[in-house]
Structure 1
């Protein structure tokens, strides 16, 4: 309904909220979210390593590499 621009009743909205909470609290979803976060962290490290290899320096914000960039 919502995607078609139709109004959702309070009862339907409450039911959707309960379903969303149940899905969010499901152990398999928790495992998936933790794995997704680990993958995102890994990809950031990969992008950082590629950037270092290509440019030979850190990004414009020296905080990204520990603040040891030459001025």
Structure 2
């Protein structure tokens, strides 16, 4: 596992925990995790998964608003 992947997993777990606790900080944390995964997928040339992370990011922003 790369360092980027480990950081993305940790931030994802934090985002899930914050969401379960209904804390408003869950939105930006989940958006950061989404961006990290998009970067990770770009680095390993998984473009469809990167686009999917972009769609997840749009949904996160919509939910946050």
TM-score normalised to the size of structure 2? Answer: 0.38
What TM-score, normalized to structure 1? 0.35
Larger Rg: 1 or 2? Answer: 1
Whose relative contact order is higher, 1 or 2, with alpha carbons under 8 Å and at least 6 apart? 2
Point out the structure with the larger helix share: 2
